[in-house]
Amino acid sequence: MNEPLVSVCMITYNHEPFIAQAIESVLMQKTDFPFELVIGEDCSTDNTRKICEEYEHHNQEKTHLLPSDKNLGVMGNFIRTLQTCRGKYIALLEGDDYWIDPLKLQKQVDFLEENDYCSLCYTNRYIVDEKGNILSEGNLPGPKKMYLTKEDVLGVFTPPMQTTMFLSKYLSRNLFNALKKGYNGDSTLSYFLIREGNFGYLDEITACYRQHPGGIYSRVNNSKRLEKTLENQKEIKRFFSKEDRVLLNRDKVSTLMRLYKEYAYHHQPAKLLKTAGQLILNDIQFKQLNFLKANYWLLKSIKNH
């Protein structure tokens, strides 16, 4: 096969019920350029690797399997799979999600070729259950502007990653170092890429994000997930300028407010007081009223229950 213009980066672990659909949705892509599928299989305990091996055997020109004899974890597997991708552009798709538009790759390449000031292109998506039933249509957690800048993204928005395509030349050493120490690879990758150019939006639904008990975030309770997110936010700030850190602070505030609510609901007074102190200090530093907003939000939630 000629050098691929696009690499599809797919990480998978114990996705036996879903991986075939994910792979098929990549192989069905209709393009006027060569592309490759790089699958990072993270030592699954089910038949995920066997299924991937069968697809690689029958689609050797397009499919490249990266097996592992030990479990590397999400970030370790993601990093090694990204580093193996050869294309000018990289599209992301996890082994339990799938694409529904056979022209997804073509449309996004055309867009990025025509808009060279963009570092990433994304679309809308469906959210589905483990059987593929649609739970919500067009559930985009953020603005639907055609072009997003740093002000639109840093600290407030992460595009749905199974819909994205970005330029591989922006995969820097600092980004990989941040990913190694981080928890949320989606936001970390987004925050690094938005510094390189705008994010372009195509107002179409091209992918399905699957919610199921075995999903990465489904396995972590909400408080733990938010605590890890807060740690990640603190860690990646050191890679950014003072100006960008002010924008990133919005992410920290949002996480603290959600943690405040979680600790109140689950009667964790020590953690609640610590979080209250962090919100108050942040309000003093940035002349904001987030602590009051958090209490208003909490009281409103209690009344609704």
- Classify residue 1: in a domain, yes or no: no
The residues, ordered by sequence, that sit 6+ positions from 82 with a Cβ below 8 Å of its Cβ are 9, 90, 171, 176
DSSP 14: S
Does the residue 176 lie in any domain? yes
Residue 105 phi, psi (nearest 5)? -60, -40
Terminal-residue alpha carbon distance, the chain: 59
From 152, 183, 210, the end of a domain falls on 210
Number of structural domains, the chain? 2
Per-residue pLDDT at 258 = 86
The pLDDT of residue 220 is 52
**How far is residue 229 CA from its own chain's centroid?**
13
Do residue 258 and residue 171 come from a single domain? no
Please identify, among 175, 210, 245, the residue that sits at the C-terminal boundary of a domain: 210
Whether 79 and 195 share a structural domain: yes
Whether 205 and 228 share a structural domain: no
| pTM to 2 decimal places | 0.88
Q: Which residue, 210, 238, 253, sits at the end of a domain?
A: 210
Residues 288, 160 share a domain: no
The pLDDT profile of the chain, 305 residues, written as one tens digit per residue, is 689 999 999 999 999 999 999 999 999 999 999 999 999 999 999 999 999 999 999 999 999 999 999 999 999 999 999 999 999 999 999 999 999 999 999 999 999 999 999 999 999 999 999 999 999 987 776 667 999 999 999 988 999 999 999 999 999 999 999 999 876 899 999 999 999 999 999 999 999 999 987 655 444 578 888 888 888 888 888 899 999 999 999 888 888 888 888 888 888 889 888 888 888 887 787 777 777 887 777 777 666 65
124 and 199 part of one domain: yes
Which of 295, 228, 284 is CA-nearest to residue 255? 228
Q: How far is Cα 216 from Cα 286, in angstroms, rounded to an integer?
A: 34
Tell me, yes or no, whether 217 lies in a domain.
no
112 domain-assigned: yes
* Same domain for 245 and 162: no
Domain-located, residue 215: no
Would 103 be classed as within a structural domain? yes
For 91, the 3-state DSSP assignment is strand
**Same domain, yes or no, for 230 and 201?**
no
Distances (CA, A) of 294 to 141, 254, 275, 290: 20, 9, 11, 6
Q: Which residue has the tokens 């020590």?
A: 270
**Are residues 26 and 53 in contact, defined by beta-carbon separation less than 8 angstroms?**
no
Verify that 57 and 181 share a domain, yes or no.
Answer: yes
Q: Cα–Cα distance between 221 and 149 in angstroms, integer?
A: 32
Parent domain of 160: 6-210
Does 131 lie in the same domain as 268?
A: no
Q: Note whether residue 84 is domain-resident.
A: yes
Q: Is-contact 277 262, C-beta < 8 A?
A: no
Whether residue 227 sits in one domain with residue 205:
no
Whether residue 256 contacts residue 282, with contact meaning beta carbons closer than 8 Å, is answered with yes
CATH classification of the domain holding 67:
3.90.550.10
pLDDT at 288: 77
Q: Both 172 and 287 in a single domain?
A: no
Same domain, 201 and 236: no
The angle subtended at Cα 23 by Cα 16 and Cα 47, nearest 5°, is: 20
Q: Judge contact between 282 and 225, C-beta under 8 A.
A: no
